[in-house]
Amino acid sequence: MIKNYIKTAFRSLQKNKGFTAINVLGLALGLATCLLIVFYVVDELSYDKYNINASRIYRVNEDLKLGDNKVQYAVCMAPLAQTLKNDYPSVENTVRLKNAGGMHVKKGQESILENKVLFADPSLFDVFTLPILYGNKANALTEPNTVVLTVSMAKKYFNRLDVVGKSLITDDNKPMKITAVIKDIPEQSHFHADFFISSSSFPESNSPEWLRSSFNTYVLMRKGADYKNLESQFPALLRKYSGGQMQAELKMNIDQFEKGGSYFRMNMIPLTDIHLHANQTGELGANGTTQYVYIFSVIAIFILLIACVNFMNLSTARSSNRAREVGVRKVLGSARKYLVAQFLAESILITLLSVVIALVIAITILPAFNHFADKNIVINAATLVWLIPASLLAVLIIGFLAGLYPAFFLSAFKPIDVLKGKISTGFKGGALRSFLVVFQFSISIFLIIGTLVIYNQLNYIQNRDLGYNRNQVLIIQRAFELGDHAKTLKQEIKQLRGVQNASLTSYLPTSMNRSTSIFYKEAVDDPKKSIFPQTWKVDEDYIGTLGMKIIAGRNFSAQMPSDSNALVINETAAKFLGFTDAINKTIYENVVSITSAGTKTLFKPYIIVGVVKDFNFSSLRDNISPVVMKLGDDIGSLSIKVNTANLPALLTQIEDNWQSLTPARMQYSFMDQDFDAMYRSEQRIGTIFIAFTTLAIVIACLGLFGLAAYAAEQRTKEIGIRKVLGASIANIAGMLSLDFIKLVCIAIIISSPFAWYFMQKWLQDFAYRINIEWWVFAIAGVAALFIAFITISVQSVKAAIANPVNSLRSE
């Protein structure tokens, strides 16, 4: 019986090639899109799950509020890890990681900059699953100046893997002994490193400071232990260990500190939640967001629904074509259940063909999708374990659900009505069909509006006045490698033709280097009269090089020695301090002096000499926070404002100056490119969103094309009579199109409020955002109407120009 169902279904599909092609193509495109989105979502949700003990690993975060300033940190104080391991039985082990900021490694005469470098404790391999291929984890990172490297780096520098005992030579000619070689860290990890240097190589690793945080700290809980219970003990831990230092430095205990409205807290986040739920200061890499996982999941469901709606619409629209078949079968004794089974078999067969084609499409375009999404998704054995069963299940579920209504609808025809020709035909005969057209075009218009909003927001980010000029600013990285010669290089470069200005500092709006300090309005420890701003060390050319605007006072001056105690602040800092006129006001920095007698808190006075217009130095999702700039000797980077028509020649001159001072390779970037990198994820999401929206519209139009064809086919005689009576081609095309255009207009009215609400929610994540204008809905509506009209017109015009003799000669 099943064999007969399949054979009959196959013959029916062969007989109606147009119907089959539209359904298979629509479903295949929808399923391929869904499959790509599933790959993306699974990839995002799989971060850090490669660790065997992933469910028991947590990271400790810090939350600090001082006055009106709130900061969330992904780092903690140096002694915390060992304290947790020693004092709390529920903790099995701990490990600390710290970003080393990169290092130069010598390969022959070449010095190569490596950026994926972390300091790590010896317990690294007891907490994380990082398989060691060569070496022993017991002594891998126990000694200073030892390093563990990945397979890729072993091949890169030695062309072999068995390199334990050999040494890497860094830029300062310091040898680093290789103690282990590990597998490359999986892509689905919230941190990536090619080199792990022993934490004992870092001077601050044994710091007793409980008020200074610089280590990403991870805790491996014992089996069955509740991390929330440990988290509840953190306040007592902070009082015990940091209370004394707070009393010494701030002249107050934690209770007094919190009484003033401030707080210093710690919390824990599961390892597998970090990638999608953490965006603290001090992260080891760029994390994702659950928002886009939800958005893409919803898009996948929408596209699949559109494809399924196409199938249901086309199947019921063909009712008149199948009615006589159903009538004859029933007259010959076929039961309704067998007819239902027959139609479901056709539906499942179409779905099977669609799934096979969808798999081919998805696998074929996966490399292009990886490029746009910045992913490295591969189809391997682990993928096939869930992909094959999921595909088979999709065939049954989608085939059953999409074919269920058409099967019961068609099998319900009464033989006597069918054979007398009383079955309602034409587009007007199906209210549910009209509803489904409205439904799928509502989804398409929703996606069009969403695409326009995302595009406009990204365009706004690209063109917004950031408070500084990022164009034509060349940044030479790691200028500190020049030591005392860094200032010499700056002066030499300023003399070059085509260079407008240059500044030495690593504190740039587009860099990751950040530092904070506490400033008070008075020389008294009063959190209510304090701010916790970004505190940047710059030089006198910084503001001019970046094109910042002084709105009050003046810039730093090299001719004024007193500027060593001067500050230039941003507008937000002035507001936080409560100053309407901040010029010549004195504020005090909290400075801790460490001597043999202990620690002592000092209040160092600074005079505010200038106020700059607010500038963005973090994501536009965040409000601008207070910034205080003071003169300092930070030589991390050299920023060069250029103005030349021959940039390659100028770059060559700058490189020559660099090479005259050091053999190391000059590393550089442009500030506008660094800025674009900050928003690359949003740009990628925008591109993917546009692609998926286009596919959704194409699939909806395929269904509309098929419906228009069947509507025209069922009104063939009516069209013939109208033409005989003098109707023009335009009249007939308009008549056939009007019913569909009405439904698209209804879809516009329904989808617009929903699109406005949800896109407004998405924009709330941006501190600086666009307003959704009326023309966005107008463009989306006109676009939907235009696309629908063009799709329908193809069939309408074809029907209108047909010779009426062919349709009326049998009458």
151's enclosing H/E stretch is helix 151-158
Strands of 296-436 (E only): list them. none
Higher pLDDT, 581 or 434: 581
Q: Identify which of 359, 265, 256, 328 has the alpha carbon closest to the alpha carbon of residue 76.
A: 265
Strands of 24-136 (E only): list them. 57-66, 69-73, 76-77, 91-99, 103-107, 110-114, 117-120, 132-135
Task: Collapse the DSSP code of 73 into the 3-class scheme (helix H, G, I; strand E, B; otherwise coil) and give the result.
Answer: strand
Task: Measure CA of the first residue to CA of the last residue in the chain; give whole Å.
Answer: 41
Would you tell me how many other CB atoms lie within 10 Å of the CB of residue 255? 9
Place of tokens 């902070």: 238
Task: Collapse the DSSP code of 668 into the 3-class scheme (helix H, G, I; strand E, B; otherwise coil) and give the result.
Answer: strand
| 756 alpha carbon, distance to own chain's centre | 22
Would you tell me how many other CB atoms lie within 10 Å of the CB of residue 775? 10
Has residue 755 got a pLDDT over 50? yes
Q: Identify which of 534, 538, 498, 794 has the alpha carbon closest to the alpha carbon of residue 650.
A: 498
| Whole-number pLDDT of residue 428 | 45
Has residue 570 got a pLDDT over 90? yes
pLDDT digits (tens, 9 = 90+) for 403-455: 777 667 666 666 666 555 555 544 444 676 778 788 888 888 888 898 888 88
216's enclosing H/E stretch is strand 213-221
Q: Quick one: what percent of the chain has pLDDT higher than 70?
A: 85
pLDDT digits (tens, 9 = 90+) for 269-301: 999 999 998 888 888 887 888 888 888 888 888
Least confident of 235-244, 388-397, 535-544: 235-244
| Whole-number pLDDT of residue 19 | 66
| Whole-number pLDDT of residue 182 | 93
Q: Based on C-alpha coordinates, what's the Rg of the chain?
A: 34
| Whole-number pLDDT of residue 756 | 93
Q: Quick one: what percent of the chain has pLDDT higher than 90?
A: 28
CA distances 658 to 174, 467, 476, 489, Å, are: 22, 30, 10, 7
Q: How far is it, in rounded angstroms, from Cα 102 to Cα 114?
A: 5
Higher pLDDT, 655 or 385: 655
Instruction: Find out whether 48 and 190 touch, Cβ atoms under 8 Å.
Output: yes
Token digits for 580?
Answer: 């309407």
Q: How far is it, in rounded angstroms, from Cα 672 to Cα 461?
A: 12
Q: How far is it, in rounded angstroms, from Cα 33 to Cα 698?
A: 12
What angle (nearest 5°) sits at the alpha carbon of residue 289, between those of residues 384 and 534? Answer: 145
Task: Collapse the DSSP code of 747 into the 3-class scheme (helix H, G, I; strand E, B; otherwise coil) and give the result.
Answer: helix
Q: Identify which of 477, 483, 447 has the alpha carbon closest to the alpha carbon of residue 298.
A: 447
Q: Identify which of 130, 143, 142, 145 has the alpha carbon closest to the alpha carbon of residue 181.
A: 130
Q: How far is it, in rounded angstroms, from Cα 92 to Cα 601?
A: 37
What mean pLDDT comes out for the span 343-363? 85
Q: Identify which of 38, 47, 48 has the alpha carbon closest to the alpha carbon of residue 293.
A: 38
Has residue 598 got a pLDDT over 60? no
Q: Which residues pair with 531 in a beta bridge?
A: 519
Q: How far is it, in rounded angstroms, from Cα 415 to Cα 325?
A: 10
Has residue 1 got a pLDDT over 60? no
Pairing mode of beta strands 550-553, 598-612:
antiparallel
pLDDT band with cut points at 50, 70 and 90 for residue 640: very high
Q: How far is it, in rounded angstroms, from Cα 410 to Cα 413?
A: 6
| Whole-number pLDDT of residue 583 | 93
| Whole-number pLDDT of residue 183 | 94
Average pLDDT in the chain: 82
Instruction: Find out whether 487 and 505 touch, Cβ atoms under 8 Å.
Output: no
Has residue 597 got a pLDDT over 70? no
282 conformational bin, left if phi > 0, alpha if psi -120 to 50, beta if neither: left
Instruction: Find out whether 354 and 31 touch, Cβ atoms under 8 Å.
Output: yes
| Whole-number pLDDT of residue 425 | 47
CB environment 117-131: b (16+ within 10 A), e (fewer): bbbbbbbbbebbebe
Q: How far is it, in rounded angstroms, from Cα 377 to Cα 366?
A: 8
Q: Please report the sign of the dihedral spanned by the C-alpha atoms of residue 342, residue 346, residue 352, residue 355.
A: negative
| Whole-number pLDDT of residue 172 | 66
Instruction: Find out whether 621 and 464 touch, Cβ atoms under 8 Å.
Output: no
pLDDT band with cut points at 50, 70 and 90 for residue 769: confident
Q: How far is it, in rounded angstroms, from Cα 339 to Cα 345?
A: 10
pTM equals 0.78
User: What are residue 646's phi and psi, to 5 degrees?
Assistant: -120, 75
Token digits for 489?
Answer: 């290089």
pLDDT digits (tens, 9 = 90+) for 32-87: 988 988 898 888 999 999 999 999 999 999 988 776 677 788 899 889 999 999 99
pLDDT band with cut points at 50, 70 and 90 for residue 321: low
Pairing mode of beta strands 566-570, 598-612:
parallel
Q: Which residues pair with 607 in a beta bridge?
A: 566, 586
Q: Identify which of 694, 790, 701 has the alpha carbon closest to the alpha carbon of residue 310.
A: 701
